[in-house]
Amino acid sequence: MNRRQFLQLSAAFAASALAVPVLAQEKPEFVTVRGDQFFYRGARLPINGFNYYPRVHPWRTFNVGEWEPDVTEKELRLGANLGANVVRTFLDFNYSLDNTRSQQRNDFYLAPVARYVQNFREFLDIAGRLKLFVIPTLFDSADWSLYQPANHWIAEAYLQELIPPFADDPRILCWDLQNEPDRPLRQDAKPVIEFFQIVSDQVRRLAPKHLQTIGWTDRARAQHFPALDKYLDFWCFHFYDKVERLADLVKFYKAQTTKPILLEEFGLATGGPGPDGAFTEQDQAAHYNAVLTILEENKMCGSVPWCLVDFPIGLAGNPPIQTDSPENHFGFFRLDYSEKPVTAILRKFWRATQ
């Protein structure tokens, strides 16, 4: 059996074994883009979302032995009750791999852990019950070696098994091909761009009804728009700068493309050492109000701020930061799930668009 035959066979098996059954009379509707906005069931869909890691398992959401669906449902409900309609989560490439199987090149096999995939399916079920569309982010924690042409087969084999079971799932808003690939792009952009072109083509073949994007960080990445514009359905940027610089950045991105531009991450920590943690909860609320006002004034498609809940010291980060850090304090909700003042700002903006 050659490589192509293996990939075709594994895709067929995965789809038949794990796909969500759809009744004949059902016609699932998927989120689409029209101009610079998202649409669902014929109406504009403003993206009111949040980034999510579980409070006590950040960066390890779906890991076998750590996934807690009851806790996740409780936490996601907090965001849904604010008026959110989207949740972004992360599929950790390293933790999702089935390392018990052979991964030699000649075997053409690199499987995601079956239990890990099932945990993600349970997440989709929870999000669906709460009327939250899901943005799963792929290849989080991927090593630099994955971008090398000799190793593209690894990504292809992995996607061949991961994507097909979810290809007809309308709860998935899009596949985010990777979170913040800025560092490898600075190291050597050519293999990284080629990697995304290959991955995008494959995801498009495997899940043609879903949208695609990439979670960029700064405006320097706009130089790659021409190389990827035909592959991606919309563009994202992340913003952790002074709010005074946002309006100019929005105008800059709008000049690069006519597709939707989503602010996929922004936020402000309410504690932790150093200047990044020297803000209060009131500062956070003011920051959100200013950011969301600028997005509204510029008729942006929406945002997905960072993040839902605070994290205990010693858990946040990848690898975990053992001392206190601003990373522990970005949440809309404190460790005891009580609301920070920013929740009032989110309710005001999110519920106004419902």
Residue 335: pLDDT over 90? yes
Task: Provide the b/e sequence for 247-269 (b: ≥16 CB within 10 Å).
Answer: eebbeebeeebebbbbbbbbbbb
Identify the bridge partners of residue 172 per DSSP, sorted by sequence position: 134
The pTM (predicted TM-score) of the whole model is: 0.91
Residue 6: pLDDT over 80? no
Spacing of C-alpha 282 from chain mean position: 27
The average confidence (pLDDT) of the chain is 90
pLDDT of residue 9: 46
Residue 5: pLDDT over 60? no
Range 124-130 average pLDDT:
98
pLDDT class of 141 with cuts at 50, 70, 90? confident
Tell me whether residue 36 is in a domain.
no
Tell me whether residue 39 is in a domain.
no
Q: Given the structure tokens 């668009």, which residue do they identify? A: 353
Range 179-201 average pLDDT:
93
Tell me whether residue 192 is in a domain.
yes
The total number of structural domains in the chain stands at 1
Structural contact between residues 331 and 307, judged by C-beta atoms closer than 8 angstroms: yes
How far apart, in whole angstroms, are the C-alpha atoms of residue 326 and residue 34? 38
> Which residue type occupies 134?
V
pLDDT of residue 63: 94
Range 64-71 average pLDDT:
96
pLDDT of residue 61: 97
pLDDT of residue 280: 98
pLDDT class of 27 with cuts at 50, 70, 90? low
Tell me whether residue 316 is in a domain.
yes
pLDDT of residue 26: 56
Identify the bridge partners of residue 112 per DSSP, sorted by sequence position: 97
Residue 43: pLDDT over 50? yes
Tell me whether residue 274 is in a domain.
yes
Structural contact between residues 313 and 323, judged by C-beta atoms closer than 8 angstroms: yes
Q: Tens of pLDDT along 82-114?
A: 999 999 999 999 889 876 554 444 455 578 899
Domain containing residue 320: CATH number: 3.20.20.80
pLDDT of residue 91: 96
Tell me whether residue 158 is in a domain.
yes
How far apart, in whole angstroms, are the C-alpha atoms of residue 181 and residue 171? 25
**Who has greater pLDDT, 221 or 26?**
221
pLDDT of residue 86: 98
Structural contact between residues 168 and 22, judged by C-beta atoms closer than 8 angstroms: yes
pLDDT of residue 13: 42
Q: Tens of pLDDT along 274-330?
A: 999 999 999 999 999 999 999 999 999 999 999 999 999 999 999 999 999 999 999
* Range with lowest mean pLDDT among 154-158, 198-202, 271-275, 306-310: 154-158
pLDDT of residue 31: 98
Contact partners, residue 156, CB within 8 Å, separation at least 6: 7, 198, 202
pLDDT of residue 20: 44
Q: Tens of pLDDT along 234-289?
A: 999 999 999 999 999 999 999 999 999 999 999 999 999 999 999 999 999 999 99
How far apart, in whole angstroms, are the C-alpha atoms of residue 203 and residue 129? 26
For 243, half-sphere exposure in the C-beta direction (CA atoms, 13 angstrom radius) is 16
Please give the biggest Cα pair distance in the chain.
62
Range 122-148 average pLDDT:
95
How far apart, in whole angstroms, are the C-alpha atoms of residue 92 and residue 199? 16
Tell me whether residue 114 is in a domain.
yes
pLDDT class of 143 with cuts at 50, 70, 90? confident
Tell me whether residue 30 is in a domain.
no
What are φ and ψ of residue 181, in 5° steps? -80, 30
What are φ and ψ of residue 176, in 5° steps? -90, 115
pLDDT of residue 94: 87
How far apart, in whole angstroms, are the C-alpha atoms of residue 58 and residue 56? 6
Which domain does 117 fall in, by range?
Answer: 3-12+48-352
pLDDT of residue 24: 41
